[in-house]
Structure 1
Amino acid sequence: MKKDKIIGVGLVLSLIVIVGVSSLFYWAKDTVFANGLVFEGEGYTMQFNQALKADSVTNGAITVTDTAGKVVQAKLTLDAKAKVLTVENLKAGQYTLTVKKNAYAKAPKLNREQKIPLEVIQKVTALKTEADLQAYFKAYLAIENTRFNNAGGVKEEESADVASESSSENKDSASSPGSSHSSTNNQVEGIEEGDITITDGRYIYTLVDNKIIIVDAKSLKLVKRLTVGKDIYPTHLMKHNDLLIVGYTTYIQTQKEPYYDSKSVSKVAFYDVKNAANPTLVREVGHDGDMNNMRKLGNYLYVVSSKTPNYWMLRENADVELRPATYDGDDEKLLPVDQIRMLPQSNEPSYLMVSAIDVSNVKSNEWKTESFLGSSGQMYMSEQAIYIASRNVHFWPEIGIGREATTSSSTSTQREDETTIYKIAVDKTTINMSAQGKVKGSVLNQFSMDEHKGYIRIATTEGNAWGTEANSKNHLFILDKNLKQVGAVNDLAHGERIYSARFMGDKAYLVTFKETDPLFVIDTKDPRAPKVLGELKIPGFSNYLHPIDDNHLLGIGYDTEVRMQEGSKEPLVFTKGMKLSLFDVTDFNNPKEQQAVIIGGRGTYSPVQYDHKALFRDPRNDYYGFPITVYAETDEEDRLKYEGTGSQIYKVTASGITLVADLLEPARPGEQYEDAYNVVQRLLYVDDEFYAVSRLKVTSYDGKTFKKQQMLGF
């Protein structure tokens, strides 16, 4: 069986400046059609494949006219290479941008005058009534109508071509020496994250399809199969004293006629499990949207979701409910429009929903919800705030001249990307938007962000790391409490992208990759002057970095192989076996890979490579483990052999990495690939017992010898 690993980058398209270049432009035989639509107060940007004259924006060679043909005073700006034109300061209305033949620095024979239609629409900046809310979403609908029902055109005489003080360091305090049971591998000490399998030291709670399985850890007996409801599939579990907290997203049908419609709802069910064999539902609360994250800080639970209402229905029906709702049991309550907050520089037709509740008395305490209109994204939480990093990608049309440009420009797009960061201050159940800022590039995940001594540190990748025109570069920005940039390290590892990040005290560690794995050590002690202290290049890359002590990190990722294939101008990178790297950063200026362990061949994988909560830690013995499925390479090219699935435990210290237990269940005769239900999801310990939990069963082992003891099938 072939098992190929594909490295992909998720791309979120911003609708603010211009949407979907490939949809906005198409080629007829002698005519190129285009249409630009922007919000009032924002600029329309386009890329030319030939340089323009520097004075073309002032001498009348490029003009903007209104529907009456009158020249309007727009702000026209060229970049340093005179290939990027930005049009600004236009009020709401329709316009035509004219680029005359003499605007170009060179005058090819096929150069023709071009007329490009622009439309500027008014953007709602405050919400007071439902009409304001409808106007907000209708503006985005207008942009999408432009994208899919293009009506503008570039008309030419013949032919033209148009191509637009807490720290993220986890010291394992919840599983510190002397602790009797394992805990979730949370990013920030003291802030709990929901997981799919947890233990309170007496029972194991795990999710299997739509059921919560409760197992007595000592006797390994099934105590309860708990079903929250029909067609409800929980995704997050937490414990707070005798309270089991269950988070999930469900779908509610809102109407059948004249068309079917539904919406997603994030809900939290609270169960009293003092008697685990008979859980009692205490309360169920929720709000609209798909659940992104749950966090618990002390007695306070926070739920963050994103919701995009069905605003497309405005095309057919003016009476569309666009307000989000909250839920308390069977009670549904629509949020008043004047309680919906608009995010500064909002750039998406969606809501960010944030709710909080004091779980010390969940039966009677208030479920408080704040709704923010305009964005969603990666989330990081400190003790003071929730941070949302929302990526904005602006696409520009490319204006070409000459018949030769037709083919290439049809697939060419220009883009610049940036991330808007929103700071939502939290104080118990009080939630307030307190600041917003911007940085270049996009964040990989929550570990790309960190709050330390009042400053925010954020690592980003800007540009594209793949293809023949790779132009990526990586940055580390430091922002103050108001999210204003105070320091930065720019332009690291050109042509690569960030694969993992970790912040430990005053140091930041970044792993970038394309063909080799550079580990950067960055000193952020002076927030206004961060600097790279050292760099290490080794084969492979790390998806996840975990602190072992102040001077050592464990990197978990892949070994790689670089090959040149016939007909390819760029080397191809293939993942091989899973790789563990022990990094010694005692000398910050000279980081070293102290030891590397390669597990299996290409196709070998572990959920810990994309889900940090799959990492098992037992600090009493310096044990680190993870679920794993192993494949081996064969003599036949691209043919892999399934070896088995299970888990592995390693002792990891400053001295090195040592395999303690290989708990792989070998492949049965004729078995070519793993059974998804038999793949281990989480590893736990309770006192001196060790447990491997899959969707099929839980298996117990002696925590000292790792000899198998019992097995309970679900």
Structure 2
Amino acid sequence: MSKSKWYGIGIIASLIAILISSYFMLGGQVEAATKAVIKEGDAYVISFKQALKKDSLTNGMIVVKDASGKELKQQALVLDETRKTLTVSGLPVGTYTITVKKDAYEKTSKLLGNEEFTVQLVGKIDKISSEKDLKTYFENYLATEQAASSIEREGMATTEDSKSESMADNSAMGSGGGEFSSTNNQVEGIEEGDITVTDGQYIYTLVDNRIIIVDAKDLKVVKRLVVKKDVYPTQLMLHDQTLIVAYAEYVQTQKEPYYDGKSVTKVAFYDVSDAKNPALIREVGHDGDIVNIRKSGNYLYVVSSRTPSYWILPENPNVELRPSTYDGDGEQLLPFDKIRVLPENPAPNYLIVSAIDVSKAKTAKWNTQSFLGNRGQLYMSPKAIYIASMNYNWLPFTSGAIEERSLVDSTTNIVLPKQENETTIYKITIDKTSISMDAQGKVKGSVLNQFSMDEHNGYLRIATTEGSAWGTEANSKNHLIILDSKLKQVGAVNDLAKGERIYSARFMGDKAYLVTFKETDPLFVIDTKNPKAPKVLGELKIPGFSNYLHPIGENHLLGIGYDTELRMDENSKEPFVVTKGMKLSLFNVTNLNKPVEQQAVIIGGLGTYSSVNYDHKALFRDSRNDLFGFPITVYKETDEEGRLKYEGTGAHIYKVTSSGITLTGELMELARPGEQYEDSYNTVQRLLYIDNELYTVSRSKITSYDGKTFKKQQMVGF
């Protein structure tokens, strides 16, 4: 376990111990951390189990003193109408002691004594222009982290800062001159990285630390390309005759007196005009764990997240906090003017975005910008990259003094209801290689994945789930929120399917389709034509749920997910849901007010799975023949309770039109006698086509089939 994780665990354990002891020593009357570090402009809140006296602010029963012992004026204190919440605000940078005397309570008790709180206010760093600014930023965060752990995890004091449309074309023309499949991208014209790609002549696929290049016509391996010995590529792209390889590399920064290192995101460009002999053109990168890569036209965008080792600042004040960029063997620290502090978000990690013109990969500028903020789900439109960063407020520890925790608006000192989770959205405008932070906004709830977001006519539509859908106190609700170009909310449909959560979302034109689930699968049809007044048009409830929705023409959706069954627990007599086999649903939304499940297909039984349920790139499409396919491993339940029988692994191909779903190809390797489960190296990861040939790709081999009869033809092992 890393030193940072041990450090975090130690803080939490210590704070819980302090909390328990403090609670009993104070008779359980106060909810506040006895020591807190907050940012300048924030408010410090103390909640009491019983009311204070009306004149407690003027009779000397509550006193605020600075570090020198000087008593401050009472303007820094505000008592709410219930006299159970005390807000301390408007203090300059410094350390203060707040004393609440035992006689301040309306009802006194022998158990009560004087209570003392220490609050340290640290200055805000809004702009990074020097090493000192950067170090102060992280030192402040390190100090506030302990207070935040107390506030967020223990339920004590609270502070608040004052301040697709359609799928990509299913076929393309390659160097071989024929038609071939492309990655199942979310947004037309925005290419996403994948583990297997083709140019119509060669197939490029990732297997462990190698890139296997296969001549599709002869079906033979022509090259096993290794970027570096200990490097494992994660994503591939093709741009004309350039192969783009994204990978992460771990770099050790020091050994003594402690071990430290960092992850670096890199991209290698190879000339594959002669695929048998790829030639490295250039290698570029920047610090951080890779979030994702996207390509629009000639321009590649690389996004990563980097958390420097700020927690060792007390031991090593000279620890490097700036991220680096890389070009070939050269490393360069990012200039301070390339680091921007995101407002309202003092997170200790960088969001790093780089862009390059791939058509000039050898000489083009590798342009990098960084933003001190959170990582999250990435959605990209033709003009912007959106990052949805989830912020969870944990509520496991409360003494019961207040029913609901609160936030304080530091401009009005009004106590507001505190949400369990919210999402901060960043809009990064892109123009070729120009990168700039354009807007920031917040919505209630959290997003499921990139399909929860969509830009349409200048507005961002985002689907979120607020609260928890599980446990005895399930309080979830779902929202469809619409934001303008500056990420200000203009409209919303709130509180959908209470007690459930979103399982999939899809946007088609001015319509939004949401699937929620707990015991049944409601499909919501939402009209967003008027962004200021979106409305639910129709709702359908059926068994099961869809993890992924794919447009079929203008009036149908293909849902891919699981069938479910409601069973009764023999002991508790309480109902519970069991996931059964995979389920394909053809939704007819011709009548938007009355969506219907036109057809359902169940595959296998309990234990059956496909990677398409969590990875949309695993979906095979051939629009020429209305074919859809995906990898699948099939299990079935036996007569013995709890026992599953492995049936086989491979892929299924279906013809899907507005008329229905028809199984046209079962490209399966059936279980051998005695085989109880699948070999992960043999499970299909991707399907693709080149002209009239269909290929399945696993980590151990590529197999070709006739694209019309689906008869097996050739196989090459790796």
Q: Does the Cα contact within 8 Å between 1:265 and 1:286 map onto a contact in 2?
A: yes
1:366-515 matches, within 5 Å, as 366-395=365-394, 400=399, 416-515=420-519
The AA in structure 1 aligned to 2:241 is D
Q: 1:162 to 1:475 in 2, by over 3 A?
A: closer
Q: Does the Cα contact within 8 Å between 1:175 and 1:619 map onto a contact in 2?
A: no
* Displacement after TM superposition at 1:26 (Å): 3.6
2:298 corresponds in structure 1 to 299
1:11 corresponds in structure 2 to none
1:231 corresponds in structure 2 to 230
Partner Cα separation in structure 2 for residue 635 and residue 103 of structure 1: 70
Secondary structure at the aligned position of 2:232 is classed as coil
Q: Does the Cα contact within 8 Å between 1:216 and 1:223 map onto a contact in 2?
A: yes
The AA in structure 2 aligned to 1:435 is A
* Displacement after TM superposition at 1:636 (Å): 2.3
Partner Cα separation in structure 2 for residue 85 and residue 599 of structure 1: 60
* Displacement after TM superposition at 1:613 (Å): 0.4
2:701 corresponds in structure 1 to 697
1:658 lines up with 2:662 in the alignment: yes
1:73 equivalent among 72, 75, 94? 75
Q: 1:574 to 1:514 in 2, by over 3 A?
A: same
1:28 lines up with 2:27 in the alignment: no
Relative to structure 2, which stretch is displaced further, 562-571 or 258-267? Answer: 562-571
1:531 equivalent among 511, 526, 535? 535
Relative to structure 2, which stretch is displaced further, 561-570 or 609-618? Answer: 561-570
Q: 1:197 to 1:550 in 2, by over 3 A?
A: same
Relative to structure 2, which stretch is displaced further, 619-628 or 27-36? Answer: 27-36
Relative to structure 2, which stretch is displaced further, 677-686 or 387-396? Answer: 387-396
Q: Does the Cα contact within 8 Å between 2:464 and 2:502 map onto a contact in 1?
A: yes
Partner Cα separation in structure 2 for residue 25 and residue 571 of structure 1: 41
Partner Cα separation in structure 2 for residue 554 and residue 243 of structure 1: 34
1:559-708 matches, within 5 Å, as 559-565=563-569, 571-708=575-712
* Displacement after TM superposition at 1:132 (Å): 0.7
* Deviation readout 1:629-685 (Å, 9 max, x if unpaired): 111112222221111111111111111111111122111222211111111100000
Partner Cα separation in structure 2 for residue 483 and residue 599 of structure 1: 42
The AA in structure 2 aligned to 1:622 is D
1:105-504 matches, within 5 Å, as 115-146=116-147, 167-170=164-167, 172-174=169-171, 180-395=179-394, 400=399, 416-504=420-508
Q: 1:259 to 1:401 in 2, by over 3 A?
A: closer
Secondary structure at the aligned position of 1:141 is classed as helix
Q: Does the Cα contact within 8 Å between 2:609 and 2:634 map onto a contact in 1?
A: yes
Partner Cα separation in structure 1 for residue 573 and residue 299 of structure 2: 55
The AA in structure 2 aligned to 1:129 is S
Partner Cα separation in structure 2 for residue 45 and residue 590 of structure 1: 50
Partner Cα separation in structure 2 for residue 474 and residue 712 of structure 1: 48
The AA in structure 1 aligned to 2:442 is K
* Displacement after TM superposition at 1:97 (Å): 5.6
Q: Does the Cα contact within 8 Å between 2:61 and 2:103 map onto a contact in 1?
A: no
2:38 corresponds in structure 1 to 38
Q: 1:255 to 1:55 in 2, by over 3 A?
A: same
Secondary structure at the aligned position of 2:294 is classed as strand
**TM-score, structure 2 normalization:** 0.87
Q: 1:175 to 1:515 in 2, by over 3 A?
A: farther
* Displacement after TM superposition at 1:62 (Å): 9.4
Secondary structure at the aligned position of 2:75 is classed as coil
**TM-score, structure 1 normalization:** 0.87
* Deviation readout 1:462-494 (Å, 9 max, x if unpaired): 111111111111111111111111111111111
Secondary structure at the aligned position of 2:179 is classed as coil
Secondary structure at the aligned position of 1:284 is classed as strand
Secondary structure at the aligned position of 1:423 is classed as strand
Partner Cα separation in structure 1 for residue 643 and residue 84 of structure 2: 48
The AA in structure 2 aligned to 1:532 is V
Q: 1:570 to 1:496 in 2, by over 3 A?
A: farther
Q: 1:662 to 1:397 in 2, by over 3 A?
A: closer
Q: 1:170 to 1:162 in 2, by over 3 A?
A: closer
1:410 corresponds in structure 2 to none
Secondary structure at the aligned position of 2:313 is classed as helix
Secondary structure at the aligned position of 2:393 is classed as strand
The AA in structure 2 aligned to 1:694 is S
* Displacement after TM superposition at 1:387 (Å): 0.7
Q: 1:328 to 1:401 in 2, by over 3 A?
A: closer
The AA in structure 2 aligned to 1:332 is E
Partner Cα separation in structure 2 for residue 675 and residue 62 of structure 1: 72
Q: 1:435 to 1:226 in 2, by over 3 A?
A: same
Q: 1:487 to 1:668 in 2, by over 3 A?
A: same
* Displacement after TM superposition at 1:237 (Å): 0.3
1:548 lines up with 2:552 in the alignment: yes
Question: 5+ unaligned residues in a row in structure 1: which ranges?
Answer: 1-14, 155-160, 403-412
* Deviation readout 1:200-232 (Å, 9 max, x if unpaired): 111100000000000011110111000000110
The AA in structure 1 aligned to 2:310 is Y
Q: 1:22 to 1:491 in 2, by over 3 A?
A: farther
Q: Does the Cα contact within 8 Å between 1:63 and 1:71 map onto a contact in 2?
A: no
Partner Cα separation in structure 1 for residue 588 and residue 55 of structure 2: 57
Partner Cα separation in structure 2 for residue 645 and residue 57 of structure 1: 73
Secondary structure at the aligned position of 2:609 is classed as coil
2:5 corresponds in structure 1 to none
Q: 1:108 to 1:675 in 2, by over 3 A?
A: farther
Q: 1:515 to 1:338 in 2, by over 3 A?
A: same
Q: 1:256 to 1:65 in 2, by over 3 A?
A: same
2:408 corresponds in structure 1 to none
The AA in structure 2 aligned to 1:237 is L
Q: 1:173 to 1:109 in 2, by over 3 A?
A: farther
Q: 1:60 to 1:284 in 2, by over 3 A?
A: farther
Relative to structure 2, which stretch is displaced further, 70-79 or 323-332? Answer: 70-79
Q: How many residue pairs get matched?
A: 674
Q: Does the Cα contact within 8 Å between 1:552 and 1:585 map onto a contact in 2?
A: yes
Q: Does the Cα contact within 8 Å between 1:64 and 1:95 map onto a contact in 2?
A: no
* Deviation readout 1:170-229 (Å, 9 max, x if unpaired): 1545469x9711100000000000000011111100000000000011110111000000
Partner Cα separation in structure 2 for residue 198 and residue 113 of structure 1: 70
Secondary structure at the aligned position of 1:235 is classed as strand
Q: Does the Cα contact within 8 Å between 1:162 and 1:397 map onto a contact in 2?
A: no
Q: Does the Cα contact within 8 Å between 1:424 and 1:433 map onto a contact in 2?
A: yes
Q: Which has the higher contact order (CA 8 A, sep 6+)?
A: 1
Q: Does the Cα contact within 8 Å between 1:548 and 1:554 map onto a contact in 2?
A: yes
Secondary structure at the aligned position of 2:446 is classed as coil
Partner Cα separation in structure 2 for residue 672 and residue 356 of structure 1: 47
* Displacement after TM superposition at 1:31 (Å): 2.9
Relative to structure 2, which stretch is displaced further, 288-297 or 254-263? Answer: 254-263
1:409 corresponds in structure 2 to none
